[in-house]
Structure 1
Amino acid sequence: MLRNRTILRFMWHQRCYRTIDYARPCFTIDPKVCLRNQSTITVEDGYVKKFMKAVGWMDQSRTRLKLTGYFLYENIPGNVAYEEWFESLELPDTFASWFNITELHVWLVMVRYMAEDIVHPTTEKTKYVKGDGYFVRNCIVEAMWADVSNRIKLLEGANPSIARKQVSELSEQFQAALVAYDEGLSDDRVLAAAVWRRFYSLSEDAKAEHVERIVKFIRHQICILDKIPSEDLKMKPNIAWLSILSK
């Protein structure tokens, strides 16, 4: 007993032992002393929930929609007959041509999904509300850029800095193409001009029948996408893409 008292007295003088009032916060605790916070479970649970919600782990519906967006994009490079496009439309077999074709198909899917968020009120104007369609559209674009970045890195002799610059340039072109295609939804002449500009860089050597074939493909493919019920598009993201050779 005497020995214990001696040790305790020594620790007190060395200030390595301090009494702590657990009924109130203590701000004089030595940082070397590891104490259990009584509210640890509550605080950690709150932060964890916030973090998981931020990354979408707690929202299963959002997670499914994100997967749907990625599956929809994978359906494009996996099922589109790129060789037919190259040969029948006299396009060079290059990464730029591949991107233009992929970009067009991505836009078609985006148009279909954005239609999910359009509301028709009693007034003359239609109203757009951001919802699942807007979220899936962003996921499709996210998946596309991830794929593009990986493909550019695989190109022979690709320089990382040059690759980043190319992706940046493609991003600007992509935004411009979306605007041009959107403007052509209600007018075939505007749509043909957008196709001519994007696929043939407004070249005078481009054949009118090739531009016309792409415009017809867009119109027919949009009709097919419009007929797919919303639930089927979410549950079964596989899309039957028309051949560019079909009449």
Structure 2
Amino acid sequence: MFRSRAISRLLCHHRVTNTTNYARPCVNNVCIIRDQTRNLNTVTVEDSYVKKFMNAVGWMDQSRTRLKLTGYFLYESIPYKVAYADWFESLDLPDTFASWFNVTELHVWMLMVRYMAEDVALQVSEKKKYIKGDGHFVRNCIIEALWADVGNKIKLLEGANPAIARKQVSELSEQFQAALVAYDEGLEDDKVLAAAIWRRFYFMSPDVKAEHVERIVKYIRHQLSQLDKIPSGELAWKPNINWLSILEP
């Protein structure tokens, strides 16, 4: 259906020949809390005299540096391993930058859900008190990597105007925040999740095939289940995520 694959070829070529410059973008944070949580601060390094000395003189925090690299590597598993062409062709999605972003955004959200489970939510009276930790920090690093990659890919588009590009990134940022909230609301309810996918991927088109939305929902459930099975230490030290193809059951 979509015979012209210019965007796919362009992004694939950029993925092979370029590395990402992870400059921190301006983006608001959205907290994702899960009832079942893992131990806090599972990705740390023991204190040493060298580390204490560097911290005392204002040098880098080794544990934070390691966590930041983890966030970057986690993000890179998406553009390097997700089969975007399969998504576009099998789900009737246009081969455009917007479709690329929507697919990438969804995978980023799944990583955020998994890593935010590294933090804890304490029950205080009738409310939950959220305790920020390693998961919160790594989540922010994943978001940094996303926006740096978006900025680089927009520059590759033919005839890209810097002023227009900045405006488009700002609009994408707002859409990104709204999508995170919508996906969060669907964590425990397939119908709510399907509605979020219908709005985000198909813009509430009445012509969309229900089986396409259903396939994405099943894909999300499977991937979240697989991510949850990865031990904290393995996820931190070997953040090498193998994303299942959308074509597989």
Counterpart for residue 149 of structure 1: 151
Query: Residue 185 of structure 1 aligns to a residue in which SS?
Result: coil
Residue 210 (structure 1) aligned to one of 212, 221, 230 = 212
Structure number with bigger Rg: 1
Structure 1 position 242, deviation (Å): 1.1
Change (3 A) 1:243 1:123: farther
Query: Residue 128 of structure 1 aligns to a residue in which SS?
Result: strand
Structure 1 position 245, deviation (Å): 1.1
| 1:181–1:194 contact (8 Å) kept in structure 2 | yes
Query: Residue 186 of structure 2 aligns to a residue in which SS?
Result: helix
CA RMSD of aligned residues (A): 1.8
Q: Separation in 2 of the partners of 1:119 and 1:235?
A: 24
For 1:95-244, list aligned pairs within 5 A. Answer: 95-119=97-121, 127-244=129-246
Contiguous gaps of at least 5 residues in structure 1: 1-47
Query: Percent identity between the aligned chains?
Result: 77
Name the aligned partner's letter for residue 69 of structure 1: G
| 1:184–1:194 contact (8 Å) kept in structure 2 | yes
TM-score scaled by structure 2? 0.75
| Alignment of 1:74 onto 2:70 | no
| 2:102–2:201 contact (8 Å) kept in structure 1 | yes
Cα deviation per residue 1:83-124 (whole Å; 9 max; x = unaligned)? 110111010110000000000000000000011102456978
| 1:118–1:126 contact (8 Å) kept in structure 2 | no
For 1:40-79, list aligned pairs within 5 A. Answer: 53=58, 57-79=59-81
Name the aligned partner's letter for residue 245 of structure 2: S
Which structure dedicates a bigger proportion of its chain to helix? 1
Name the aligned partner's letter for residue 137 of structure 1: R
Change (3 A) 1:239 1:123: farther
Relative contact order (alpha carbons < 8 A, sep ≥ 6): 1 or 2 greater?
2
Name the aligned partner's letter for residue 202 of structure 1: M
User: How many pairs align?
Assistant: 196
Contiguous gaps of at least 5 residues in structure 2: 1-53
Change (3 A) 1:66 1:88: same
